Amino acid sequence: MEIWNSLLKFRVKDAAEFHYHWKCKELGLINLCFADDVLLFCKAHLPSITVLTDTLTEFAALLGLKVNSAKSQIIFSLAVQQERQQILEYLGFQEGSLPIKYLGIPLTSSRLTIADCRPLIDKVDARLAGWNHQNLSYAGRLQLIKSVLSTLHTYWASAFILPKGVLKTLEKKMRRFLWHGSSGSGNAKVAWEWISKPKEEGGLGIHSLITTNQTLMLKQLWRILQNDGTSI
């Protein structure tokens, strides 16, 4: 994909008629690629879209490929009305809407809601359901929480500021599993704030999900400030 990235940057730089999407201009962001998935960003402006599609057609011809219009979508912001139909007719793509699933997580232009995070909660529930019929000791449950449950959200937490309601829900499920196993009923024997402290401070070393999310977001902020050239 390096050839594609270089070709796209060259064509955009050489095209006076191209206009960035207003949220991407400062970053100079035109596209994101992973495997055979490509996201392209620009202003809802037919000359700008033409630059991208012409470059895509050129790249496809070089490699003997073809854009699959049936699997391609265009997503407009709510403010775009005038050129919408003209652009749709030109591209022949279906009109999509956010959020969409990209690399296993929802891609949206606003903060995630609890509903957006339902797949993450369901993933934790599925793991817990798989352990319900196993006769696990307290030590075994603790190890599963530290090595599995407390890490399931990491991928999401490295990309988004997750709703606190979601993180508290996940911690509640972990707390119930720790103390009561498959039954999930009864009171906690020790407050979660103490449980999530390091062992040296009297805790069990289970990382706070909220603190983990904040730490991963600070790491992303550092990468942006360092301008290391990698996609987030």
Q: How confident is the model at residue 30 (pLDDT cuts 50, 70, 90)?
A: very high
pLDDT (mean) for 79-89? 84
Q: How buried is 206 (Cβ within 10 angstroms: 0-12 exposed, 13-18 middle, 19+ buried)?
A: buried
Using alpha carbons, list the distances in angstroms from residue 75 to 52, 69, 90, 95, 104: 15, 14, 14, 6, 19
Per-residue confidence (pLDDT) for residue 226, from 0 to 100: 83
| pTM, full prediction | 0.77
| Tens of pLDDT, residues 147-193 | 999 999 999 999 999 999 999 999 999 999 998 886 566 677 788 88
Q: Measured between alpha carbons, how far is 51 from 49 in angstroms, rounded to an integer?
A: 5
| 231: pLDDT strictly greater than 70 | no
**Strand locations in 80-203 (E):** 94-95, 100-102, 105-107
| 228: pLDDT strictly greater than 80 | no
Neighbour count for residue 102 (Cβ, 10 Å): 14
Average pLDDT score, the chain: 88
